Amino acid sequence: MIQILNRIKFRKCGIILPVLLVLCPFGMYSQEINTKALFNAPKESKEVVANTNPAVTTTPNSRQNKPSANIPSDMDTSSMMWLIQKALYDTTGIILFKEEELPPADMPDSVYIRRLAAMPSIISLPYNDIVRNYIVYYMQKHPRHSAKMLGLAEYYLPVFEEILDAYNIPLEMKALPIIESALNPVAVSRAGATGMWQFMLGTGRRYGLTINTYVDERRDPVASTYAAAKYLTALYTMFQDWTLALAAYNCGEGNVLKAITRAGGKQDYWEIYPYLPKETRNYVPLFIAANYAITYYKEHRLIPEPIDIPVRTDTFMVNSKLHLEQIANTINIPLTQLRELNPQYKRNVIPGNERPYELRIPSEYTNAFIENERKIYEHNEAKYFNPNIVVNPTTVSKSNKSTTDSSVKVSDSQKVTHQVKSGESLGIIAGKYSVKLSDLYSWNNLTEKSTIYPGQKLVIYGKSAAPKQTENKPVTVTSTASSDEKYHTVKQGDSFWSITQKYNISMESLLEINNMTKNSKLLPGKKILLP
């Protein structure tokens, strides 16, 4: 059997030192799960690889991992796989596997060597004991969890390949999210790296990802892959070597440049290996093993586990605020599916009033979404979003307070026209005339979501003068506008632009006179003042 010796050589000892890892509990959790545990990990070995090179620092990481209990049975697949994946290596230092903790390789080294050599890759995929141990871990130690990861890979890897190919990046890089996050879009590390590609906040924004209170595109599988392709391209441009680009992706460009300097200018991953951060030393072997796993899993009799994520989807651009529950409750899409397809919306809110955002839904709901779009936006809008966006506070002096706050008596047969003043609300007006708020709505063809504006005229009726109305049907009110004021009644499909074109007026003057913005909603039946 052919044996491949480890290429890592320490200068002073002049010996070949295989560096191995062990499963270590850790404290990194996904935002979407609540767990105190990892899983039944092997007992840790206390035997740590000695530092035989004084150039390599051995200062322990201050963030020590804490022991953990068993993993809860209800944890979702992607979170489970991410926890397992993160256990493969630890930032606190390299620890040796005990011999009894891994089963013996089910195949001779020569088979692994031949298979790695046969893989069509321009990235070097060498074989050594570290790579073998990771392959054994994937294929034999946790086959059930690897089957779940392979099921996710069948769904996500074609998406990655298409984007990587567009940037002329080796398609082997599609395995990178496997070792970063186990294909969990909402994975979050202790350091704050987020998403499948584990971007830090600053790096994500540098490569065009939107990150704010509502949106984190690091969690968007498509957007984050585009950002990762840009980042990998920049790293390859810097180092002219994909293996070094991989190392830099893990520990940063600065650490790789330092390792190159300490290695006397050598620019080969295995030559600078002893000078890299400890977790990065095992990053490339783990990458090699992940590529082996997704290529040769059939030879190890592993079957990808089916996943419950819709394969066929449609994308809509959302231009107003929209809550995922509004969609789920209106056209009966399972909320869990909406979250899975749109993981970038941290609070289940699409802030489309800021700029257009994408919404992905299963294809079988496309027609229902189109036919019920207006109902979706209007469904419980007041519950999810505060309709009082524009507030005009007023200061009332003591001298006119009694006049402003005094109620107005309306006789039974009287009809009164009230002109809205700055700072007034429908509730204040109803109280002033001692009428029911619901009556005020119906008399003026308004709803609880309607917005009133200064100068708008409302009608108030006495008891006997109030027009009769059918249940739940608002009364159509004749316009009380004076001859020098003109109003437009909003119709279905109207927009600010179409109104300005119809009346040959400017957008700015229309918005200003109605105390509105371009993002204000135009509800059918609402009257707006024309300049």
Residue 100's domain is classified under what CATH number?
A: 1.10.530.10
The CA–CA distances, whole Å, from 121 to 4, 110, 215, 349 equal 20, 19, 36, 42
Mean pLDDT of 67-75: 33
The residue that leads in pLDDT, 135 or 21, is 135
- On whether residue 145 sits in a domain, the answer given is yes
- On whether residue 67 sits in a domain, the answer given is no
Within 8 A by CB and 6+ apart from 336, the residues are none
Quick one: 331 and 456 in the same domain? Answer: no
- On whether residue 27 sits in a domain, the answer given is no
Tell me the two tokens of residue 226: 């585009």
H or E stretch covering 371: helix 366-371
Mean pLDDT of 104-130: 90
The CA–CA distances, whole Å, from 229 to 176, 236, 519 equal 11, 11, 34
Quick one: 317 and 280 in the same domain? Answer: no
Quick one: 295 and 318 in the same domain? Answer: no
What pLDDT is attached to residue 258? Answer: 95
What pLDDT is attached to residue 449? Answer: 62
65: pLDDT strictly greater than 50: no
- On whether residue 63 sits in a domain, the answer given is no
Residue at a domain's end among 358, 384, 410: 384
Mean pLDDT of 428-453: 78
CB-based contact 3:48 (threshold 8 Å): no
**What residue numbers bound the domain in which 362 lies?**
313-384
Quick one: 254 and 119 in the same domain? Answer: yes
- On whether residue 212 sits in a domain, the answer given is yes
Nearest partner of 48 among 60, 56, 39, judged by Cα: 60
Quick one: 168 and 217 in the same domain? Answer: yes
- On whether residue 3 sits in a domain, the answer given is no
Quick one: 279 and 421 in the same domain? Answer: no
**Which 3 state secondary structure label does DSSP give 16?**
strand
Quick one: 190 and 319 in the same domain? Answer: no
Quick one: 181 and 163 in the same domain? Answer: yes
Within 8 A by CB and 6+ apart from 308, the residues are none
The DSSP letter of residue 419 is E
What pLDDT is attached to residue 388? Answer: 54
When mean pLDDT is compared across 55-59, 192-196, 266-270, 387-391, the lowest value belongs to 55-59
What pLDDT is attached to residue 139? Answer: 87
CA distance 207 to 226: 9
- On whether residue 19 sits in a domain, the answer given is no
Mean pLDDT of 391-417: 58
* Residue-wise pLDDT tens digits, 416-435: 888 888 767 777 787 788 88
**Which 3 state secondary structure label does DSSP give 335?**
helix
CA distance 514 to 453: 6
What pLDDT is attached to residue 458? Answer: 87
Assign 158 a pLDDT band (cuts: 50, 70, 90).
Answer: very high
H or E stretch covering 421: none
CA distance 453 to 513: 9
Taking the chain, what is the end-to-end CA distance rounded to the nearest angstrom? 89
What pLDDT is attached to residue 486? Answer: 78
| Cβ neighbour number for residue 355 with a 10 Å cutoff | 11
- Asked about 172 being catalytic, the answer comes back as no
330: pLDDT strictly greater than 80: yes
Q: What percent of the chain has pLDDT over 90?
A: 41
pTM recorded for the entire structure: 0.59
Q: Which residue in 154, 161, 162, 180 is the catalytic one?
A: 180
| Cβ neighbour number for residue 74 with a 10 Å cutoff | 7
The residue that leads in pLDDT, 468 or 391, is 468
405: pLDDT strictly greater than 70: no
Assign 101 a pLDDT band (cuts: 50, 70, 90).
Answer: low
Quick one: 502 and 430 in the same domain? Answer: no
Mean pLDDT of 487-504: 79
When mean pLDDT is compared across 57-61, 192-196, 262-266, the lowest value belongs to 57-61
Q: What one-character-per-residue DSSP string does 426-467 give?
A: HHHHHHHTT--HHHHHHHTT--TT----TT-EEEEE-TTTSP
List the CATH number of the domain containing 499: 3.10.350.10
Quick one: 435 and 499 in the same domain? Answer: no
| Average pLDDT value for the chain | 75
CB-based contact 462:415 (threshold 8 Å): yes
What pLDDT is attached to residue 145? Answer: 85
Residue at a domain's end among 300, 327, 355: 300
401: pLDDT strictly greater than 50: no
**Which 3 state secondary structure label does DSSP give 260?**
helix
Quick one: 475 and 489 in the same domain? Answer: no
CA distance 451 to 88: 57
- On whether residue 325 sits in a domain, the answer given is yes
Number of domains in the chain: 4
What pLDDT is attached to residue 94? Answer: 31
Residue at a domain's end among 354, 384, 414: 384
Nearest partner of 321 among 359, 347, 351, 358, judged by Cα: 351
Quick one: 293 and 328 in the same domain? Answer: no
